[in-house]
Chains A and B, each alone.
Chain A
C-alpha cells in the first residue's frame, strides 16, 4: 500500500508535474523575450518545455500592433536632401532637426512595440535580424525606408530565411546602405556583394575576392526609384554577362547569386551559430550547431523550425548555459520597464538611454552590427547602466538620457528636451510588491528569483526596506545577466 502511494507520487501528474517549473520558465522567457513578469513565469511554469516553445512560436506576429508615426509614412526623395546644399544655413538646420525628430519618433515607436507586445519573441527576432541585415539611418537618411525595412524584418522574423534574404537584397534601405544604389555595369560597387557573403550568409573566409567582384556585377542595376523610394531594377545599368561565383557559372542576376549562396552548407551553419550565441551561450557547440543547421537546411531555411529545435535543445536548458549572456542595452531598458510594470507615455528618453549605453536601434555602429556579449560592458557603459537603474528606484526626477552622451553622436537638442523626466517613469513600489503576497523573507526570496538569473553577488541586508532591497538587486552585477 505504502509502495503504491510512493509510486503514485512519482508518477507525473498531467498538466502539473509535467510542467517545466519556475526556473526553466524564467530562463525560456528571459532569453526569448525581455524580462518576464511574475505572472508570465507562473503561467509558463505549468507547461512542458516543448509546449511552452510551441506556444511562443504560435504567438508570433508578422506586423507590429503599434501604428507607425505619421512621419515614418511619407517618403522624402533624396533630391530634397541634395537641394539642401544650396539652402541657407537656417533651412538646413531646420531640416536636420526635423530628421532627428523623425528618427527619434521611429525609435520610440519600436520601443513601444517592444514594451507592449504580447509576443516579445517577435521583437527579439526582429532585433536579431536588424543586427544581421544591418542598415543604419545615419547613412540611409530616411526614417521611412528604415521603418519599411523594420516591417520587412518582422514579417519574415520567424518565416523563411531564404525569402528574407531575397527580400532584404531588394529592400530600399539596404540598397542605399550597402551602395547597390550606385552599383552600375560601368563601375561596379562591391559593398553589397562583399557583405552579403561575409555577414549575411557564408561568413568570413568562405569565398574569394574574385567571387565578390563577380557577384557585384550580378547586383548591378539593383537600385531604387528616387521619387517613391521603392526598389527598381535598371536594365541599362545591369551587367547581363557571364559570372562565376563559388565555382558556379552562368549569366547570373542578383537573385541567382543569392540562390548560389543559399545552396552552400556554410550559410545554414553561419546563421545557426549566430542564433546560438544570441539565445544559448557565447561559445557555440560546433557539433550541436551542425545538427541544428541541418534542421535548418532540411526545412529549406524555415526559421521557425530551427528556433523550435534550438529552444527545446538540451543545450538551451543546460545549467552551465544559465545566466551566461549579458543583456543588451535594449534588453536591459525594455526588460526593466516590463518587469517593473512601468509604461511611460513618451519612450524617446528610453531610446536615448539605450543609445547612450551603446545600442542605437536603427543606427548600428557599422555593417557588422553590435558585437554584443562582453563588448557591451566597459567602464563607460557599466557606469551608465548603473546610473540609469539607480535613478529608476529613487523617488526623484530621473533624467534617463545623460547630457554627456558618448561624444559626437549629434542630436543634442531632443536629448536635452528628453532630460526632464515625466513622472510616469516612476516605479510604483507598493503596488508591485503586493503581487508577492506575504511579507518577509519568503517574498524577498521570490523577488530575487524573479529579478536575477542567478544568485546575487551580494545579498542585500534583510533589514533594508523594500525599495532599497530592490535597488540593491538591480545594482548587483548579476542583474546585467540573462
Chain B
C-alpha cells in the first residue's frame, strides 16, 4: 500500500498527536527515534587546515602562506590539532563526545563539486550513477514509522541531497514557524497522476500536510544561538527535535567552503561559525535531554589540495577530515593522519571510505543490518558507545 493511501485511510489531516509511547509502539526494528543530524560543509571544507598535522614539516612546506602555526593550533595530541577557530569544540573533545575521522574519501576520486557531492549523496562508486540518495535507499528498505512527521527535514537549503528520490518524505524549510503558517493555508489536492511532474507536485503537497500535522514551533531554549545563517539553521534543527514529532534525519548546510583564493580569513570565519553552531546544538540537545539520542555528522564533497595555490587559496582535493558528535559518541581520532609525502596527483589518498560512516549511522546508530547496504562492503566504525 502506498503511504499516501495509508494516510488517507487514517485521515492524515487529523493525525493523532505524536508522543513517546506511540513512537515506541510503532517503532520497527530500526530505531529512528534517534535522529541523525547531517551537516554539509558545502564547497568542500579544507580538512587539512581544520584538523592540522602540526608536527609534520611537509604540511608547512606545502602551505607556506596558509599553514596554521604550531603555537596557534589547539593540540589534540602530539601530532594533530584543531584550527584555532574550532576551539568551541574543545569541551566536546575533552568529554570524549567528539570523534574526528581523518582520511575520509573513496577510490578514484572525482574533483568536480557536482559529481563528487552526487557520489557522496547517493553512496555510489566513483564511476557509478545512482538515482536515489543514500538515506532514501536506507528508508526504501526500512521506512521510518508512518506516523512520523517526516522521514527527513532539510534546513536552510532546498537541495534534498541524501534524501532525494524514492518515496522518502523529505521536508525542506527555512524555519518551522514560517512552514506551519504557510502549510495551514494549503488544502492538498489529493489524487494521483501518471504525469511525473504532476505526481511530484501532489506528493510534495501530501508530505507538507503530514509534516504540518506533527511539527510544532516556539520551543523556548535557554541556549544562545550564533547570529549567522548557520546559527539560524542550528536553531531550526533544534526546534524540529524539540517538536518530538518523529523525524529520522535532519540535514543542515553550512555554505562557502570553496576557498580557491585568499582563504585564511574566510576559512577562519567559517570554522568559527561551524564550531559555535555545533556547540550551541549540543547545548540545546542537553536542554531537551536528547544529547544521548542524537548523532551529528559532517560531510562534504571533498577536501582540498594539500599544496596551496598561487591565489592564497586551495583547489579541489580528495580525502578529508570529518566530525562525529553526540552523547553516545566514543571520542577520539579515527582513520589515518594525512600522508603528505605520499600524494597521488597532488592529492591525499583515502583511508576510510565515506560509506563506512553511513554504515556506522545505519548499523551502530539505528540498528539496521549494514550488510545489506551499499553492496555490503563497508564496515561500520566503532564510534558509537552502546
Chain A residues packing against B (C-beta within 8 Å): 179, 182, 184, 186-187, 189-191, 194, 198, 204, 209, 282, 323-326, 358, 366-368, 371, 373-375, 377-384, 386-387, 390, 402, 404-408, 454, 457-458, 476-478, 480-481
Contact = CB atoms under 8 A, between A and B. Distances in A.
Nearest to A410: B229
B182 A386 contact: yes
Interface stretch (B3-11, B202-210, B327-335, B350-358): B202-210
Given A182-B311, A458-B191, 13 more contacts: A182-B261, A187-B311, A198-B115, A204-B112, A366-B114, A377-B201, A378-B160, A379-B179, A380-B173, A380-B174, A383-B179, A406-B174, A407-B236
A339 B114 CA distance: 36
B116 to A, nearest CB: 11
Nearest to B192: A457
A324 B196 contact: yes
A37 B202 CA distance: 27
B233 A407 contact: yes
Given A194-B111, A198-B112, A382-B208, A358 B315 contact: no
Given A387-B182, A406-B158, A408-B228, A368 B113 contact: yes
Nearest to A366: B113
23 contacts: A179-B311, A184-B310, A187-B309, A189-B260, A204-B112, A204-B115, A209-B111, A323-B195, A324-B196, A326-B200, A326-B201, A358-B158, A375-B158, A377-B204, A378-B172, A379-B171, A382-B204, A383-B182, A386-B186, A402-B178, A408-B255, A480-B197, A481-B197
Contacts of A387: 182, 185
| 7 nearest A-B pairs in the assembled complex, by CB-CB distance | A408-B229, A187-B310, A383-B182, A477-B201, A182-B311, A378-B172, A407-B156
A481 B114 contact: no
A458 B204 CA distance: 17
B174 A405 contact: yes
Contacts of A390: 185
Contacts of A402: 178
B287 interface: no
Which size bracket describes the interface of B in this complex?
Answer: 35 or more
A410 to B, nearest CB: 8
A387 B202 CA distance: 17
Nearest to B171: A379
Given A182-B261, A387-B182, A458 B205 contact: no
A204 B129 CA distance: 12
B26 interface: no
B204 to A, nearest CB: 5
A475 to B, nearest CB: 9
Contacts of B175: 404, 407
A141 to B, nearest CB: 12
A409 to B, nearest CB: 8
B382 interface: no
A371 B115 CA distance: 13
B198 A374 contact: no
Contacts of A182: 261, 309-311
A413 B315 CA distance: 34
B173 A379 contact: yes
Interface of B: 111-115, 154-160, 170-175, 177-179, 182-183, 185-186, 189, 191, 193, 195-198, 200-202, 204-205, 207-208, 211, 228-230, 232-233, 236, 255, 260-261, 309-311, 315-316, 345
B157 A406 contact: yes
A476 B173 CA distance: 21
A476 B202 CA distance: 10
Contacts of B178: 402, 404
Given A189-B315, A402-B178, A374 B211 contact: no
B309 A189 contact: yes
Contacts of A406: 156-158, 174
A383 B183 contact: yes
Nearest to B347: A209
A184 B172 CA distance: 42
Main secondary structure of the interface of B (DSSP, over half): mixed
Contacts of A380: 158, 171-174, 179
Counting chain B CB atoms within 10 Å of each CB, which of A209, A384, A406 scores highest?
A406
B348 to A, nearest CB: 15
Contacts of A204: 112, 115
B158 A186 contact: no
Nearest to B236: A407
A168 B386 CA distance: 57
Contacts of A190: 315-316
A186 B309 CA distance: 10
A478 B309 CA distance: 50
A179 B204 CA distance: 39
Contact of B201 (A194, A367, A384, A480): A480
A204 B110 CA distance: 10
A402 B195 CA distance: 31
A454 B201 CA distance: 14
B345 A379 contact: no
A249 B224 CA distance: 60
Nearest to B208: A379
Contact of B185 (A198, A367, A381, A386): A386
Q: Which of A358, A379, A481 counts the most chain B CB atoms within 10 A? A: A379
Contacts of B177: 404
A234 B208 CA distance: 55
A42 to B, nearest CB: 27
Contacts of B159: 371, 375
Contacts of B232: 407-408
A198 B157 CA distance: 24
B191 A189 contact: no
A476 B205 CA distance: 11
Contacts of A454: 195
B233 to A, nearest CB: 6
Nearest to A320: B195
